[in-house]
Structure 1
Amino acid sequence: MAPWQEIAAERQAHRESTIEALANLPDPIKIPDFGDPSKLPLNVYKTCQYYLTPREIEITEASPVALLAQLARSTYTAVDVTRAFLKRAAIAQKLTNCTTELLPTLAIARAEELDAHLKTHKKPLGPLHGLPISIKEHLGLKGHDLNAGFCGWVGNIAFETADILKPLYDAGCVFYVRTTEPQTLMHLETSSNLYGVTVSGFNRNLSSGGSSGGEGALIGMRGSCLGVGTDIGGSIRSPAASNGVYGLRPTSYRLPMGSQSATMQGEEHIVPVVGPLSTHLPALSLFMSVAIGSKPWLSDPMLVPIPWREESYFPLNAITGRTKKIKIGVMKWDGVVMPHPPVLRAIGEVVKKLREWKEEFEIIEWKETQAARAWDIISALYFADGGKEERAAMAETSEPVLPLSEWILTQPKVPKPPGHTMNDLWGLTLERDDFRREFVARWNESGIDCLLCPVGPGVASRLGTAKYWGYTSFWNLVDYPAVVFPVGRVGEQDKGDWAYARGQGAGEKDKWNMGLWDPEYYKDAPISLQLVGRRFDDEKILEALNIIQGKIGLPFIDATQ
């Protein structure tokens, strides 16, 4: 096998060739050369816009639902839309390092087929007709590389397309780009020896989140309006939060996970999920309704046969108003790591606005006391073999073990290599189940419909520092659905005399996180929060968030403005 450096160089050259291919289309798409990345501004969102035509901006910044309506009416052709997103994705790549390859030939051919279908049949192929959708790289796309972020796995070719992508394709979407992911797929940032570091387009000093960080950065830059990510500890929600977009971690066993590349295949102690990220909230429900509407449980017996439910959980009566208030628990911090000031400010502002709508919302304080225990359990369950598979994959080419890979692999108190005994694993699984029973009892006692909480210990992380997973991994442990949404961005109001920054921490993790805070360093970073519901209440939390947004006017400040 070639040295890892040669493999990485080949992959990067391949990626560049897919961008250069845009110039060879019958109607060429020219992509600017930005030169030395260090000379770019920290916030490159408007830099991206500068190289687009007004029509391309109009297309790529439309909501997916609005775009689909325009495609159905032939206001735009599928080719128009695909070309616009290919161009913006290529520019986003130059600015944030978020893609592994563009798919111009495949995408344009598909778009032409869809335009021909609409012209012939006078109706769209399906509910996603002509909509470009981006894909996290470790989800299989037939005939394409499937390396999961490991140099030694380059050359593994997908024999079939991932199960989650098939219903989307059948509904008429266009796959046009694949996005970056980290080594091991177990970072809340996105860095690998193959492609380097993916950054946030709103502040290039900061991470795009992970492990679906390529999706987050691309969608944040509006190089995609709807993408597919995966989540085992925060990998959809962290990138959504870091880039000011929406992301849903569904309940496990609602969407199919087949035909993707990763280590630990077959483990069932902490089940990964696949889910959507988007520029607009309604697209999350659209994605779920299409994917679940295909009845994936008929071919995957592991899935729960629950259709996507369209009925309202909080109906309106024309005379008396809302028939049931939305009871919202509010967790400002988890008792282990206090979030940075912008996150606390965002929670305070949202809660203040919610309290103004007394006829709609009831607010309940939630005090969390079990976050440290939750991390001990889930971190021990992540690597039942003591990290053997991850280290073996990296050893194939002697690629360096990146700092965040080493960090997560050494987090568990147990097991150390060679891993758990069977009895150890059974015992930890029972501990997980006990934790879940205790937690649902607390939830039931509170009577809440959903829980508002931070997504992380701050906004997008400084590069190399995403070492506290508690605000996302907690919900993987109990398997609760969670949706991330933008609230605002770091600005002048965060430069105040925060007593927090000088306070005594609750422990070493808290003190370390406090030491990272600097309002100037995080300037323009999106501020996001998370709404959580109990298992299989995916539809309920999306409806609740839709109502909340409508009443209090979220986001208060759009990161793109």
Structure 2
Amino acid sequence: MINITSNMSWQDIANAAQTHLADTLSCVEPRIPDPPADLPLNVISLPAKLLSTDIVRITESSTEDLLHKLATGRLTSKQVVNAFLQRASLASKLVNCIAELLPQKALERATELDKYYARHGKPMGPLHGLPISVKEHIAMKGQDLNAGFVSWVGNVAPDDGLILKLLWNAGCVFYARTTEPQTLMHLETSSNIYGVTVNPYNTKLTSGGSSGGEGALLGIRGSCLGIGTDIGGSIRSPAANQGLFGLRPSSYRLPLEGFAATMLGAEHIVPVVGPLSTSLEGVKIFMKALIDQKPWLYEPMLVPMPWKNSVTEGTLLRTNSNTRTLRIGILRDDAIVKPHPPILRAMDNLLAKLQSNPNITTVDFPPYAHDEAWRIISSLYFADGASEEQEAMAASSEPLRPLSEFILKENKNVKTLSVPEVWKLTCERDAYRAAYARHWNSVGTDLSGPESGEAVQVNSLEKESEMVDVILCPVGPGCAPPLDCARYWGYTSQWNLLDYPALVFPTGLACNAGDEVEKGYVPRNEDDRYNYELYDPKTYVDAPISLQLVGRRYEDEKLIEALELITEVAGLPFKEPAAGSTKPRL
């Protein structure tokens, strides 16, 4: 626990929190050596040089591989947990991603699980012995719960959040709590409590946000499976920036009880909780382990929708002579901010692979009024004029971080809304959702588009076989941005407004000097100008290139199966040619 007194300045409180963090790191045994003072920009390779071979082997295993070895007794939970504690401790020193480690509690839990396995000869549950990292603002009984606000440091969670209880029932171990930004409303992770969490592939770039501590920790393999939250891109941004898998599920599928945040109770834009993972299978394991426990029995607002398993229930995609087929809409550009060259390179190369397969059909998916979507969602984010956010910061006199200034002060749509104004915007949200559904239905078919209103008749479902199954699109207008520069949310918040599930995946490619600036480009608007001027291939060197797959609401399982098929067909992850190779770049 962090000891706070009423007369402490915000700097004193931050120092107390950082001292507590250092104390938890010091409890990891054997003690992790300090990294060299002169660090390279890319620190991804350092753990393999500073940690033992056994620790590296365990921590670089996938979720599914570790679970298999734990379930068959080839590894003990204590071995696995200790390995991840070691690597997470090092990760904290390299990229500043940890709010606190839990070595004593984690090893006690691991010992308990190992005794259970020895006694019964079987695992306790589907996640038996697996370490899972947790974003700090998810309540953990007896631990600090500050959600990135200095004035909230010292608040202690009275109980575990429901999602932690369910994961615990499934047999996991909680060992690390990760950083988040001031306000929880940044696409990067910086706070006045812990400072800035950086990207392990290039420490001049952001890890993303608001689940950026999770992203950085998984990126450097200090975790294989972690919990993030998402209201505008907060799972997908960190997943993309570190080349991970990250799922923003449809709303009301996973429990939110026990989370700390401002504006609790607001229902016009609903946050979600979901997984970040080093493997796609890890995403599926996470979702299934939770939904199989019927969380709607404990949190009644959740949808009572069992997890659909394609293995036991057959493919969720359409079939042609027992072969899975897929129609993919290709949205390269939202017509507001043009993606940087590396993103378009990855889109082009994946598209080329997909178009060569007879079981996959690709069609252009034009954007539909994405600027209107941002107007609606950015107006609804802070219906109280951001007063709760500002009060939480003013309570300690902590200064606003640059991206807090951006989203709260420079966002022209932030104002205190009357109840009728909230109702009006909510109606506009619903009208936009209906128009976008008509737009989706029309792409690649001869159905009427969104402008036709009531012209779409119910008998048009005969064209359903021609409709797009999923959308392939960028996660952002570039790879991980430089610090304090993640100002465009449109490629992720779009799907929050629509409440569509969205799944980020790594392409295996990375930014390099060959991704040249587009010369002579004339920006469309100020946001586009900002993004265009941000790009220099030297700035983004080594940044992973990730993409996003989007599905219809409550088709989360179908979305995962679609990515499984895309991965198989395209041979993901791609591999960059070796330095000096004469082969063309992917």
After superposition, where does 1:245-324 map in structure 2 within 5 Å? 245-311=244-310, 312-314=315-317, 320-322=321-323, 324=324
Deviations 1:471-528 (A, max 9, x none): 00000000000000001333446344x4x24310111111110101111111110000
Partner of 1:338: 338
Amino acid in the other structure paired with 2:571: G
After superposition, where does 1:115-514 map in structure 2 within 5 Å? 115-311=114-310, 312-314=315-317, 320-322=321-323, 324-358=324-358, 360-416=359-415, 419-446=416-443, 447-492=467-512, 494-496=514-516, 498=517, 500-514=518-532
Residue 371 (structure 1) shift: 1.0
Distance 1:58 1:316 in 2: 39
Residue 206 (structure 1) shift: 0.2
Distance 1:331 1:292 in 2: 31
- Out of 12, 20, 24, the residue aligned to residue 6 of structure 1 is 12
Residues 181 and 191 of structure 1 are in contact (CA less than 8 Å); yes or no, is this contact kept in structure 2? yes
Residues 188 and 209 of structure 2 are in contact (CA less than 8 Å); yes or no, is this contact kept in structure 1? yes
Amino acid in the other structure paired with 1:453: C
Identity within the alignment, %: 53
Aligned: 1:549 with 2:536: no
Residue 551 (structure 1) shift: 1.4
Deviations 1:54-74 (A, max 9, x none): 111111111111111111111
Distance 2:84 2:408 in 1: 37
Deviations 1:156-178 (A, max 9, x none): 10011111111111111000000
Distance 2:568 2:154 in 1: 48
Distance 2:514 2:439 in 1: 34
- Out of 529, 532, 546, the residue aligned to residue 547 of structure 2 is 529
Distance 1:130 1:75 in 2: 12
Residues 333 and 453 of structure 1 are in contact (CA less than 8 Å); yes or no, is this contact kept in structure 2? yes
Partner of 1:540: 558
Distance 1:337 1:495 in 2: 18
Partner of 2:453: none
SS in 1 for 2:162: coil
Amino acid in the other structure paired with 1:356: S
Deviations 1:389-427 (A, max 9, x none): 0000000110001110111113543442xx101111110
Partner of 1:49: 48
Residue 316 (structure 1) shift: 6.3
Deviations 1:213-234 (A, max 9, x none): 0000000000000000000000
Residues 178 and 213 of structure 2 are in contact (CA less than 8 Å); yes or no, is this contact kept in structure 1? yes
Partner of 1:518: 536
Distance 1:114 1:18 in 2: 22
SS in 1 for 2:210: coil
Distance 1:491 1:392, change over 3 A: closer
SS in 1 for 2:27: helix
Amino acid in the other structure paired with 1:435: Y
Residue 314 (structure 1) shift: 2.5
Residue 299 (structure 1) shift: 1.3
Amino acid in the other structure paired with 2:420: N
Aligned: 1:111 with 2:104: no
Partner of 1:73: 72
Residue 558 (structure 1) shift: 8.2
Flag structure 2 segments of 5+ consecutive residues without an equivalent.
Answer: 1-5, 444-466, 580-586
Amino acid in the other structure paired with 2:14: A
Residues 254 and 273 of structure 2 are in contact (CA less than 8 Å); yes or no, is this contact kept in structure 1? yes
Amino acid in the other structure paired with 1:16: A
Distance 2:117 2:367 in 1: 53
Amino acid in the other structure paired with 1:513: N
Distance 1:543 1:411, change over 3 A: farther
Residues 378 and 414 of structure 2 are in contact (CA less than 8 Å); yes or no, is this contact kept in structure 1? no
Deviations 1:356-396 (A, max 9, x none): 112x2100101113111111100000000001000000001
Amino acid in the other structure paired with 2:317: F
SS in 2 for 1:494: coil
Distance 1:415 1:421 in 2: 13
Amino acid in the other structure paired with 2:338: M
Distance 1:203 1:457, change over 3 A: same
Distance 1:270 1:501 in 2: 39
Residue 87 (structure 1) shift: 0.2
Residues 501 and 517 of structure 1 are in contact (CA less than 8 Å); yes or no, is this contact kept in structure 2? no
Residues 236 and 277 of structure 1 are in contact (CA less than 8 Å); yes or no, is this contact kept in structure 2? yes
Distance 1:476 1:62 in 2: 32
Deviations 1:129-152 (A, max 9, x none): 000000000000000000000000
Amino acid in the other structure paired with 2:394: A
Partner of 1:25: none
Partner of 1:16: 22
SS in 1 for 2:45: helix
Q: Following TM superposition, where does structure 1 have runs of at least 4 consecutive aligned residues deviating by more than 6 angstroms?
A: none
Number of residue equivalences: 545
Residue 269 (structure 1) shift: 0.6
Distance 1:424 1:415 in 2: 13
Amino acid in the other structure paired with 1:476: N
Residues 379 and 411 of structure 1 are in contact (CA less than 8 Å); yes or no, is this contact kept in structure 2? no
Normalised TM-score (structure 2) = 0.91
Residue 321 (structure 1) shift: 4.4
Distance 2:114 2:235 in 1: 32
Distance 1:546 1:494 in 2: 29
Residues 251 and 538 of structure 1 are in contact (CA less than 8 Å); yes or no, is this contact kept in structure 2? yes
SS in 1 for 2:227: strand
Residue 432 (structure 1) shift: 0.4
